[in-house]
Structure 1
Amino acid sequence: MTTRPPAQPFDLARIGAGLTFAGSLAELGAALAAPGAAAVVQAPPGTGKTTLVPPLVANLALAEAHDGGAPPRVVVTQPRRVAVRAAAHRLAALDGARAANRTGYTVRGERTAGAGTVVEFVTPGVLVRRLLADPGLEGVGAVVLDEVHERGLETDLLVGMLAEVRQLRGDLRLVAMSATVDAPRFAALLGDEEGPAPVVDCPSALHPLEVAWAPWDAPRIDERGVARAFLDHVADTAAREHAAELAAGRDVDALVFVPGAREVRHVAERLRARVRGTEVLELHGQAPAAEQDRAVSGRGPGDGPRIVVSTALAESSLTVPGVRLVVDSGLARELRRDASRGMSGLVTVSCSRASAQQRAGRAARQGPGRVVRCYDERSYAAAPAHSTPEVAAADLTEAALILACWGAPGGLGLALPDAPPRPALADAVSTLAAIGAVDDAGHATALGRRLARIPADPRLARALLEGTRLVGARAAAEAVAMAARDLRPPGADLGRLLSALRSGRDPQARAWAEEVRRFERIARDAGAGSAQGHDPSTQGHDPSTQGHDSSTLGHDPSTEVGAVVALAFPGSVARRVPGGPEAYLLASGTRAGIPAGSSLSGHEWLAVAEAARAAGRDAAGTGAVVRAAAPISRELAESAAAHLLTDRVEAEFEDGRVVARRERRLGAIQLASTPVRPTAEEGHAAVIRALAAHGLGVIGWSEGAEALRRRLALLNRELGAPWPDVADSALLARLDDWLAPEVDALAQGAAARGIDLAEPLRRLLPWPEASRLPELAPERLEVPSGSRVRIEYPPVEDVPGPDGTAVPGASPIVAVKLQECFGWAETPRLVDGRVPVLFHLLSPAGRPLAVTADLASFWSGPYAQVRAEMRGRYPKHPWPEDPWTAVATAKTKRRLAGE
């Protein structure tokens, strides 16, 4: 048996020449000296941490390797594929290729790492799936998580998962690297019983930086996204500023930041039309790998000046050599979740101040630089301090499946930077349960583990596997590749986009074709009928049970796309809203419009891959717009979303009577509705729901019932039990005690107008105390004239509880003509003398003259002024000077004298 020669350590002196972080290597080496140690590196962009930390950690592992054995591998994550390749290429170049494949990388669909690889750069997603397949990370001696401050969702998950692996293994070194002040948080997460992990700092490597402003005097974002006029302003500013640099004899490159791939293409095309002798390069996630690599590499011999137009991926994890000028739009594309509509997607927002500073720093990494911000200082000051962590805004379906497969549903027990928001997590688990990926306890099923191994959203993974049986592996892969990329179909029509991609007319055709080949290979490897082990009767849906095959779809590309999209997003199958071709109702209950002039217009059913909040004409008054969809048939919609089909009787209590309809629905979409006679149980439930939602007013209080209720409320206030609480909430809580016969009658079809609540209310009267009701709270009060005047008791809502006090308006009121109370000195009191009556003394015409709860005081004082004012107005009625001795009467003076 031959032994392998010991691997040579990396030459850190050569690799770190000219890099600021070289001065921190000794401190970091000491912190990581022991196997299983952890540390946090806090170093600004451009200091060389990405280049130097991996070989330092590798040297520590190499020193511990046994003779002849394979050296433990160091795995380094970078948040983006282009950064993975760039970091690997740079380290390999500085290392001098001393061993074949000593430095390699793995990204989706591409791998250069081999058996001799010592440092391997990967994306977070690659490492997550590697952990799920091999939780012990066999053969890996250390993991370096770079750019953790960006708070990508997969990186956050890795922090918790790797901290757990490190505890179990004891020999895994773990390093988290941050460019901002998040370091203390991650030090605590990676720490142990002895305390937080050590933090190794590095000073900034920035040179002098000049900040200039080129504000735009109109909104940067309109209802359709980033305003084209603003993008033209960014391009024109970049062309002007770069030309000025060259004219001043400074042969520098420029880096232009815009939010997304579409904006990159627009700005780049305008620049190419305006500049001469300058190469314009595009840098975004959808660009082919070769173009990405060229954009992030330095100029070659004989190359002229360059302008690189980039999304945020050049913000912190990449150094673009030669850049001394940055032009910043101040916009970013971030994930947002609309909980009210159940939508998630990328939206364009003002970038955070931290992001703006990172972008500006790109200009001063290799010498003095200049940043020109295409917005004003007020907008900069109003921007958030930091970007929103992805876990707080993203759709969590994929993350929830990863956690379930890891054995930590919902992140339970993991040291995550932030706990997943409960509502978003609950939605994610519900989605996974619907496709059979998790069981009732939230743990991953066999299907869920298979889906987790596919590098795509679980819904797309499920659609790829099931769609292969329905439309074939190639067509399924084409549809999934479109849905997985941030493509914007013309008029939201995925069928038209597919035609353009197949023909090569679309600029994304080449990158899309690579994705198609990858997904097709996955689908073929998995084999048709991939929903084995998934019980469609309880979890999700297997299209094979619905009688569909590829022949029933007629091989129409649009229909095939719609079939796969419907399988991926069954809650987003949509039906046109009657009365207009542009508004659709999704099975989830959301309404969305299609873009004006879209070729989708007029289709009855759509499979929606993406919808987003929007306003304006495209939203058709719904508040949301369809961004990507394909037409489908009703049969296919019902097949793909079979678990959302319901067929039940819906009984409602409307306009005082129970009515019922048999409704067949696909989620929120009504398929059929037929009037039926409800059963007693259905009617009873409808009445109870109406009472709970709208109160007893749906039946209605008669005058007599309301009067009795008010009297009882006063007694409950003053005396408490056993007099009943008759507030709505109390009455609704004990319906069976007093209203059961009437509820049954309503449930069987009786009309509410035939029910008087007075008699049911009497069922609540306590016995024998009820015999005192006329005495304690009489309906009427006899006044000195002999009249029996109705007492107006306070409304129930004005009566506090037994331990409360009366509020204004909460006293019983007697409205009576003043003359009928002559000689009445003592104000009557109710409820065994506890509650005085409030008198509204009226004129002979019934208009109020005075309000008093103290008749004696009124006769002795205010009466004289009332008499002076009223005797001339009502001369036919008595206004004696002495009300104490006058005869109380309701008659005029003439009628009184004639008696």
Structure 2
Amino acid sequence: MNAAEFPIDSLLPSIRDSLAAHPRLVLEAPPGAGKTTQVPPALLDAPWLRGQRIVMLEPRRVAARAAAQFMARQRGEAAGDTVGYRIRFENKVSARTRIEVVTEGILTRMIQDDPSLEGVGALVFDEFHERHLAADLGLALALDVQASLREDLRIVVMSATLDGERLAQFLDAPRLSSAGRSYPVTLAHFPARREEKLEHQLRRAVEHALQQHPGDVLVFLPGQREIARADAALAGSDALRGVDVLSLHGELPVEQQSRVLQPDPDGRRRVVLATNVAESSVTLPGVRVVIDAGLAREPRYDPNSGFSRLDVVAIAQASADQRAGRAGRVAEGWAYRLWPESQRLEPQRRPEIVQVELAGLALELAAWGDAGLRFVDPPPGGAMGAARELLLRLGALEAGRGDAPPTITAFGRRMLALGTHPRLAAMLLAPSDARERALAGDLAALIEARDPLRSGGDALAARWQALAAFRQGRAPAEASRSALAALDQAAKQWRRRLRVDATPPTQVPAHALGDLLLHAFPDRIARQHPSDPYRYQLANGRSAKLFDDSAVYGEPWLVISELRDDPRDARVLRASPLDEARLEREFPQRFVSEDRVVWDAAARAIAAVRERRYDRIVLDSRPLAKPDPSRYADALVDAVRQLGLDALPWTGSLRQWRARVRCLREWMPELAQGENALPDLSDEALMAGLDDWLKPALRGKTRLDALDEGAFGEALRSLSDWSWRQRLDALAPTRMVVPSGMERAIDYAYDEHAADGRGAAVAPVLAVKLQELFGLADTPRIAEGRVPLTLHLLSPAGRPLQVTQDLRGFWERTYPEVKKEMKGRYPKHPWPDDPWTATATHRAKPRGT
């Protein structure tokens, strides 16, 4: 295939011209346009490049290798000459290489190691719409380099399905769009039968496609597990006789990937079961039918639990369109979707940066030394806080002084150089013994890879024992030999990376794996609960529970490498026993003994104990005879944190004061700004500031109920400046003089559940007998006239007659009917025909009138 055959060809001169005039460019081109393989070669002779290299970021290893090999073949060369690639554990570049295709972690290392990017003239970010975390970080670093060190550096962001206008505005860059090459694709939804499993629905869809349409069939599934199930379901189908069923995912050996990317040598039809690696960049020849499960396996992170997990989620509409387009690359095609037609998908894929664990990102930013990088979507604060806390535990960061952010340690820089998750890097670097370092390489491979055992279970040792047996030529029957072979190869790569000559041991003591894993999962070191052998307390304060058939039942200490979050307890999915003596030798500083005065929630009283702990695991606790009285206030504050604000002695007037302040902040937003702003009295703000406003009032007290209403009220009001007390009465008064001359109370309220749970002010209420408002034309207002009162107009007996914020309208339209009905019921009270001029009164008519 010649470059001229690609639709992007006509746009290449515009791309070159744009980059000559501007250092950044956003390029939109659908699948099949040729952007991946045609744009980098077209830039090689650009004058601004001056013979420097082009580095192209490709998010997937399969695509990176395939793109580089395709570009090399176009030039009649082998990969590693003018065009090369670098992916994890594989390097095909040379001194002659001018186009270097790299995967995401490689690009980050290049920029961190050489911020000036010596010899690099252009960075190309391909398939940016996938919004991988490493791509977002790479772009942020590249923009910082361009702004501070390399004004001449060109940055090209390419995408098939992305909001290009938003990205172009963010980059302050021109935007070019290319047409694709595609034929019409007929879309249809292939309904599932009642309670039908995905693999059975898929089998019916594949059989239908093979019978009704020509060409190969590409099936999109979320992961290897679903591919294996689909493969097994298709194995017994008569419709697939003579059809080659192939798998395509990132963990396949190179030769198997290459086989899928080439036509069948014997001309057989093919069914390719693929993850979303086939969604973009990789072109599969001969595909005329796409069958899409509409699912992807993506990482999710919950900052409240601190646990990461891979979830099977519905794909975005943009991904569904891109997958369907794969059927129209060579001729008219068909796409079958296995979800209901009524199901609506999100328009675009969510960026990984807002939903994954961010320890790696936090470490990269600490190494870069500038946390103020510009991200297309900034990282969430909660996830970044949890990431930094983990890095502090791992020894990668050290806490800054005062408000200064944490800084990277020398150990943290060594971790970063390994190019893996900080947890695994800490474990790989921890042992000094060569055999232990080789064993650590095995563990890194096991944690990163799919489970080699078909039988499940929670013992990581069973996986390692299967790997050790495989090396001796006797893999267990319940293990996948291909998975074990991939694990063995990954472990070899780790030993090579670590420069370890020793071979891994063939057998180890029961706690050997845990003794290494504790360096990767210091927050998940767990001790058996003294009263429940299935429950474990974790070093981070959470608890986790074993399954009933656990293989590690009875172990006093565990390190948990995999957890499944649960509303009540996390479940232990993978764990290893560890040696407590080894733990104390490795982390002596985390074993502490101290006297504590704490709130005992069960007894609803203060308890004074002498505790020995490992992090937040209590190892021993004994009553303390003479606790320090000054520490009682801390315990009582903890009690409020556990029991909530309702445990405090609220009075009606205090609740009204709080509601007035909260409402006024909403009605007059300018009063919530500046140095002397009205205080934030939301539950969240009060709970966050307990140490500042409540603790002083609790000093000297040994019980929570010893705090009286007066002291509590003073503590609460101390949050507002003294000048506000009078101003508050003027803007949001507690009482109002009505035309009868009497003072009546105004009732304030704040609805915590309004506005989707954010809370909102409720209109203030003035309850008053109707006769007391004669002569008043308009509804009274507060907050400098911005807020009308809600009038509860009462009968002489104090019963409600009308609720309104339009007093004038009431007099004009409703009062005549009220008068007619009430005059006979309350004859001793005035019911004038003209309420506008009548005298307001709170009394009945004088006798005889």
Tell me which interval the TM-score lies in, with the shorter structure as reference length. Answer: 0.7 to 0.9
Instruction: Give ranges in structure 1 of 5+ residues lacking alignment.
Output: 1-13, 66-70, 191-195, 221-228, 528-549, 615-620, 714-727, 765-798, 811-849, 854-860, 866-883, 885-899
Alignment partner for residue 59 of structure 2, among 59, 79, 83? Answer: 79
The Cα offsets for residues 723-761 of structure 1, whole Å up to 9 and x where unpaired, read as xxxxx9999998899x88xx63x54xxx889x7969999
Distance in 1 between the 2:168 and 2:713 partners?
A: 69
- Find the residue that maps to 1:503 and give its secondary structure: helix
Secondary structure of the structure 2 residue equivalent to 1:567: coil
Q: Note the C-alpha offset of 1:235.
A: 3.4
Match of 1:524 in 2: 499
Quick one: structure 1 residues 639 and 148, their matched pair in 2 at CA, closer, same or farther if it must change by over 3 Å? farther
- Matched residue, 1:877: none
Partner-residue secondary structure (3-state), 2:390: helix
3-state SS of paired residue (1:491): coil
- Residues 360-371 of structure 1 correspond to what in structure 2 (within 5 A)? 360-371=324-335
The answer to whether structure 1 residue 388 and structure 2 residue 350 are counterparts is yes
**Residues 759 and 624 (structure 1), Cα distance of their counterparts in 2 relative to 1, 3 Å cut:** closer
**Contact 2:243/2:271 (<8 A) preserved:** yes
| Change in 2 beyond 3 A, CA 1:863/1:407 | closer
* RMSD of aligned alpha carbons: 4.1
Q: Does 1:114 align with 2:94?
A: yes
| Alignment partner of 1:660 is 2:608 | yes
Q: Distance in 1 between matches of 2:573 and 2:486?
A: 20
Q: Distance in 2 between matches of 1:81 and 1:572?
A: 31
State the alpha-carbon separation in 1 of the partners of residues 527 and 575 from structure 2.
Answer: 12
2:72 and 2:79 in contact (8 A); partners too: no
CA contact (8 A) 1:612 1:627 kept: yes
Q: 1:868 matched to which residue of 2? A: none
Q: Aligned to 1:318, which of 282, 291, 296?
A: 282
Counterpart of 1:215 in structure 2 is 191
Greater Cα offset, 514-523 or 384-393: 514-523
Partner of 2:262: 297
Structure 1 match to 2:200: 232
- TM, length-normalised to structure 1: 0.69
Change (3 A) 1:665 1:254: same
State the partner residue of 1:501.
Answer: 467
Which amino acid is the alignment partner of residue 209 of structure 2?
A: E
Structure 2 residue 589 is matched with structure 1 residue 650: no
Q: How does 1:779-794 map to 2 (within 5 A)?
A: none
Match of 1:337 among 301, 307, 331: 301
More deviation in 100-109 or 572-581?
572-581
Tell me the CA shift for residue 369 of structure 1: 0.9
1:637–1:314 CA distance, 2 compared to 1 (3 A): farther
Deviations 1:205-244 (A, max 9, x none): 2211011222224578xxxxxxxx3223223422442244
Opposite residue 203 of structure 2, the aligned amino acid is A
Indicate how the Cα distance of structure 1 residues 462 and 43 shifts in structure 2: closer, same or farther if over 3 A, else same: same
1:443/1:244 CA distance change after superposition, 3 Å:
same
Q: Which residue of 1 aligns with 2:359?
A: 397
Structure 1: distance between partners of 2:452 and 2:528: 21
C-alpha change, 1:44 and 1:479, in structure 2 (3 Å) is same
Gaps of 5+ in 2: 471-478, 659-682, 716-731, 738-742, 749-795, 800-823, 829-846
C-alpha separation between the residues in 2 aligned to 1:631 and 1:371? 50
Moved more, 80-89 or 583-592: 583-592
Shift of 1:292: 1.9
One-letter amino acid matched to 2:497: I
Q: 1:852 to 1:182 in 2, by over 3 A?
A: closer
Cα drift, residue 644 of structure 1:
4.7
Change over 3 Å in CA distance of 1:574–1:640 after alignment to 2: farther
How far, CA to CA, are the matches of 2:617 and 2:180 in structure 1?
58
> How far apart, in 1, do the equivalents of 2:105 and 2:255 lie?
21
Tell me: CA distance 1:806–1:498, structure 2 relative to 1, closer, same or farther (3 Å): farther
- 1:200 aligns with 176
My pick for the range that moved more, 564-573 or 661-670, is: 661-670
Q: SS state of the match for residue 277, structure 1?
A: coil
Contact 1:278–1:304 (Cα < 8 Å) also in 2: yes
Report the Cα offset of residue 371 of structure 1.
1.1
- Residues of 2 paired with 1:362 and 1:16: CA distance? 20
CA distance 1:647–1:317, shift in 2 (3 Å)? farther
Greater CA drift, 233-242 or 109-118: 233-242
| Pairwise CA distance, 1:152 | 0.5
The alignment status of 1:269 with 2:198, answered yes or no, reads: no
Question: Does the C-alpha gap of structure 1 residues 81 and 807 become closer, same or farther in structure 2, counting only changes over 3 Å?
Answer: same
Distance 1:700 1:29, change over 3 A: closer
Measure, in 1, the Cα distance between the counterparts of 2:406 and 2:161: 35
Residues 840-859 of structure 1: CA distance to partner in whole angstroms, max 9, x if unpaired? xxxxxxxxxx9899xxxxxx
Q: Any conservation in 2 of the 1:46–1:365 contact (CA below 8 Å)? A: yes
In 2 relative to 1, CA 258–583 (structure 1 residues): closer, same or farther, beyond 3 Å? farther
If you compute each CA radius of gyration, which structure gives the higher value, 1 or 2? Answer: 1
**1:664 & 1:40 partners in 2: Cα distance?**
58
Counterpart check, 1:419 vs 2:378: yes
Range with bigger deviation, 284-293 or 591-600: 591-600
1:80 to partner: Cα distance: 0.6
> Do structure 1's residue 562 and structure 2's residue 548 form an aligned pair?
no
1:670 aligned onto 2:618: yes
- Residues 779-822 of structure 1 show CA distances to partners (whole Å, capped at 9, x for unaligned) of xxxxxxxxxxxxxxxxxxxx985889754999xxxxxxxxxxxx
Q: CA deviation at 1:603?
A: 2.7
- The structure 1 residue matched to 2:29, chosen from 31, 38, 43, is 43
SS at match of 1:378: coil
Q: Are 1:408 and 2:370 counterparts?
A: yes
How does the TM-score come out when normalised to structure 2? 0.73
2:121 aligned residue = 141
**Are 2:544 and 1:592 aligned?**
yes
Q: Partners in 2 of 1:426 and 1:690 — Cα distance?
A: 25
Q: CA deviation at 1:332?
A: 0.8
- The 3 A distance-change label for structure 1 pair 83 and 596 is farther
- In structure 2, distance between residues paired with 1:584 and 1:762: 42
Determine if the alignment matches structure 1 residue 92 to structure 2 residue 72.
Answer: yes
Number of residue-to-residue matches in the alignment: 686
Shift in Å, 1:77: 1.2
Question: For the Cα contact (< 8 Å) 2:736–2:746, is it kept in 1?
Answer: no
Q: 1:159 aligns with which of 126, 135, 139?
A: 139
- The residue type equivalent to 1:258 in the other structure is L
